[in-house]
Amino acid sequence: MKAVFVKVFGHVQGVGFRYFTYRVAKRLNVTGYVRNAEDGTVEIHAEGEEKILERFLDEVSRGPTMAIVTDVRVEEVPVQGFRSFDIVH
């Protein structure tokens, strides 16, 4: 089990990015959360097996159709043991 904190930059708010991320996480059985940050980025805490997280990050790096992702920063963080994946407001 591995955990990552992801910060997604670009035109990523107001384009369904959180819901897109939620659907990808549910499909891949990734746990954690996604939220809009005050600085206009999207923040994600994701937990899962390493290969699954790689697939998750690949899809999130592209984002939904209307998003324009300019940068994705990933940092490995301690596993917190989330049981589900949620959209945090």
pLDDT in tens, 21-49: 999 999 999 999 999 999 999 999 999 99
pTM of the full structure: 0.96
Q: Looking at the predicted structure, is the pLDDT value of residue 57 above 90?
A: yes
Dihedral over Cα of 4, 5, 8, 13: its sign: positive
Structural domain including 71 reads 2-75
Q: Is residue 11 part of a domain?
A: yes
Q: Looking at the predicted structure, is the pLDDT value of residue 89 above 90?
A: no
What are the pLDDT digits (tens) for 69-79? 999 999 999 99
Q: How many domains does the chain have?
A: 1
Q: Looking at the predicted structure, is the pLDDT value of residue 51 above 90?
A: yes
Q: Is residue 88 part of a domain?
A: no
Q: Is residue 66 part of a domain?
A: yes
Q: Looking at the predicted structure, is the pLDDT value of residue 64 above 90?
A: yes
- Edge to edge, the sheet with strand 68-77 lists 68-77, 2-11, 42-48, 31-36, 85-88
**Amino acid of residue 57:** L
* pLDDT for res 36: 98
Catalytic residue IDs: 18, 36
